[in-house]
Amino acid sequence: MLFVLESLVKIGAYEFNTITSIEITKSVDDLTDTAIITMPARFKVRKNGVLMDTDEALKVGDPVTITLGYERYYSGIEFKGYVSKINPKIPIEIICEDATWLFKRKNINKAWNKPVQLKEILQEVVKDTSIKLAANIPEMKIDKFIIQNANANQVLQTLKSDYGLSIYLNDNEELYVGLQQLNNIHQEVAYDLNYNLVENNLEYKTEESRKIKVRYTYIDKKNKKKTVEVGDPDGEVRTFHTSVISDEAKLIEIAKAELIKLKYEGFSGNVKSFLIPFATRGMTAKLINKLKPKQEGKYFINKVVTTFSDQGARRQAYITNKL
């Protein structure tokens, strides 16, 4: 079976079928999905009847759509967003951001001097933009929230850092804001560790060898913080936040519960495959190992990096906790 790569990159009013390379990064840990497009400097386009260098014809703010696939077998829109920067070097490098780019251009001044639902703040963030809120925004009350001459992106960064929320646009261009452990979109991709992988960069660890430290922080109404830590003193730090539970004993209890979930026996790392099977952040990776069935399991995909060039197309999926 022969798979022939195809691509279509739309930037503003122009379409490009031939590019040098593309790298798309999507993560539940990052507010913004990004794409880096490189193309030969010799490319010219016609604008108003005049031939122009590509880097002169394109401009920051141009809408971008990237479609990748294999002829007759798969075609999918891998990225939608806007040009955020153009580097006129050789080859030309076009930096793109998803629709959160719009948030950087929206200024907000608003104060809630009494408890407010998270969703109400988010409605103010997306107001007058093309972005909608995801349906699964959690019920969460925030005490006194003031926005003084900040752009919408800065507001989201504050919510992310102060309340430990995971914030990103899903593949339907809907803004998701909520707890990281609720990111699972309940779609599954299967990887046979002995068959359909280009690279296997996974490491299998026992519970004892997996060094983790959980840091849980309570933030009160005056933004004062109380923090507890459990786990391995020299372990990899995983941070969580709450504005509900203030009792130190209870904080330690829920931190230990998180630690149990994180100190699992199983894989961590990433796998690299072709464009198919499709995978995106928030999905479940089902790892199949017929040679060692005890190592099979399901894991949460927190990040996917997709690359495309004349050398081929690859999709690298990073996994975190075992499901």
Task: Summarize pLDDT for 60-110 with one digit per residue, the tens.
Answer: 999 999 999 999 889 999 999 999 999 988 889 999 999 999 999 999 999
Q: How many CB atoms lie within 10 A of CB 268?
A: 18
Least confident residue range of 41-45, 139-143, 192-196, 285-289:
41-45
CA angle in degrees (0–180, nearest 5) for 305-310-316: 15
- Average pLDDT on 243-253 reads 79
Torsion angle (degrees, nearest 10) of CA 92, 97, 102, 105? -60
Confidence of residue 196 (pLDDT cuts 50, 70, 90): confident
pTM score, whole prediction:
0.88
| 253 residue type, one letter | E
Least confident residue range of 22-26, 193-197, 235-239, 258-262:
258-262
* Pick from 80, 82, 30: nearest CA to 59: 82
- pLDDT for residue 188: 95
Confidence of residue 181 (pLDDT cuts 50, 70, 90): low
Rounded CA-CA distance 164/238 in Å is 11
| 272 residue type, one letter | K
> What would you report as the CA-atom Rg of the chain, rounded to the nearest whole angstrom?
22
Check residues 267 and 40 and name the one with the higher pLDDT.
267
At residue 244, does pLDDT exceed 70? no
Confidence of residue 254 (pLDDT cuts 50, 70, 90): confident
Confidence of residue 247 (pLDDT cuts 50, 70, 90): confident
With pLDDT > 90 as the criterion, what percentage of the chain qualifies?
A: 56
Contact present, 276 and 73 (Cβ < 8 Å)? yes
Q: Which residues of 56-91 are buried (b: 16+ CB within 10 A; e: fewer)?
A: ebbeeebebebebbbeeebeeebbbbbbbebeeeeb
- pLDDT for residue 279: 96
| 288 residue type, one letter | I
Question: What is the residue-averaged pLDDT of the chain?
Answer: 89
At residue 1, does pLDDT exceed 70? no
- pLDDT for residue 108: 93
Residue 110 tokens, joined: 């608003």
Confidence of residue 251 (pLDDT cuts 50, 70, 90): confident
